[in-house]
Structure 1
Amino acid sequence: MTSESQLPAKRPVSASLAGPYGHPFHPILVTVPIGAWVAGLAFDIASHVVDRPGFLTQSSEWLIGIGVIGALLAAVVGFLDLFAIPAGTPAFRTALIHMTLNLLVTAAYAVNFLWRRGDYTDGGSVGLGPLVLSAVSLAVLGVSGFLGGKLAYRYGVRVADESTQAEGYRAGRSTGDANSPV
């Protein structure tokens, strides 16, 4: 059962900006930087394996830039979700740590992008420094992702209340399209 203290964290501050009730935008937006940065690290490593690594080095730089832009967009929506969590609660403290780690990772990737800027023009592999920075940043992002999961799955931030969730488990006709599996 959802308590009164949890209700604000379940409702969006602005449905048009943060996503409607039960469908927050933040979880879908974070897939952009995560995917870009994981692929970027894979390209970094691969640049040390192939004969002509310039295309991988250049692609990794682009992926890091795309990830930074995606992370900034996800952060805007994440801030809106943060404002819905009551201050002084374990959920709020977890959200602050999650936010801080994400901002640090985004800053590290912005530095990494600038560090690499134009390095691919010589056709060489990604340098050891930028590669290590990507790996460490991705590890910190994993910790932050764990905390994000805790916010959603343990504390129920921006997750529909149990009575709304129960609609998906009632036998018979759903409230949606009868031909839709969802």
Structure 2
Amino acid sequence: MSADPQQAKQPVSAALAGPYGHPFHPILVTVPIGAWVASLIFDLASHVAGDPAALARGALWLIAIGVLGALAAATVGFLDFLAIPAGTPAFRTGLLHLGLNLGVTVAFAVDFLWRRAEGTHGAVPWGPLALSVVALATLTVSGYLGGKLAYHYGVRVADEATQATGFRR
């Protein structure tokens, strides 16, 4: 099977996924990543700060923002995934990246529901905090795979000839 490597560089829909060489997915993932990392910081701070309930509420809503941001990033990322030829190493990497991110998003949605059920009356309980740590560790692996897709396989990144123009004298 001979796959066209240029196929993975072209969007299914430039209006939805971003123009050639400027995909929207890497921009959108900063919202859930930032919100979820901040929520973990709030979780930890709730165990040492003077007003743990306020920090626990903040972490709860940061998780919600992260889940909503992840859904937006996943929608655009799925369009990028559709451009990758099936049966290629890039496709398999993309499938694993997609699966891990889906698992992370579900874990944080469960984390949000768990926290809502328990309430935010004090420091974040150890169970939801541990779930956040595991989900963020998984997100780190998935982020590495996303970087591999962009930087190693060049998915949705300019082709080599276009990239070379930036280095001509």
Task: Give the TM interval when normalised to the shorter protein.
Answer: over 0.9
TM-superposed CA distance for 1:52, in Å, is 1.6
Partner of 1:126: 124
Deviation track 1:41-66 (CA, whole Å, cap 9, x = no partner) reads 00000000012211110000010000
Aligned length: 167
Three-state SS of the structure 2 residue aligned to 1:113 is helix
Deviation track 1:150-176 (CA, whole Å, cap 9, x = no partner) reads 1111111011001111222223xxxxx
Percent identity among equivalent residues?
69
Gaps (5+ residues) in structure 1? 172-182
TM-score by length of 2: 0.96
Q: Larger radius of gyration, structure 1 or 2? A: 1
Three-state SS of the structure 1 residue aligned to 2:74 is helix
Partner of 1:79: 78
CA contact (8 A) 2:3 2:85 kept: no
Gaps (5+ residues) in structure 2? none
TM-superposed CA distance for 1:35, in Å, is 0.2
TM-superposed CA distance for 1:109, in Å, is 0.2
Partner of 1:40: 39
Answer yes or no: is 1:116 the counterpart of 2:141. no
TM-superposed CA distance for 1:4, in Å, is 6.9
TM-score by length of 1: 0.89
Partner of 1:179: none
Matches of residues 1-182 of structure 1 in structure 2 within 5 Å? Answer: 5-117=4-116, 119-120=119-120, 122=121, 124-171=122-169
Between Structure 1 and Structure 2, which shows a larger proportion of helix residues? 2
Distance 2:55 2:168 in 1: 50
2:89 alignment partner AA: P
Cα distance change on mapping 1:97 and 1:56 into 2, 3 Å? same
Task: Give every structure 1 segment of 4 or more consecutive aligned residues whose post-TM-superposition deviation is greater than 6 Å.
Answer: none
Three-state SS of the structure 2 residue aligned to 1:21 is coil
Distance 2:99 2:128 in 1: 22
Distance 2:88 2:34 in 1: 31
TM-superposed CA distance for 1:103, in Å, is 0.2
Three-state SS of the structure 1 residue aligned to 2:149 is helix
Deviation track 1:91-149 (CA, whole Å, cap 9, x = no partner) reads 000000000000000000000001111612x2x00000000000000000000001001
Three-state SS of the structure 1 residue aligned to 2:32 is helix
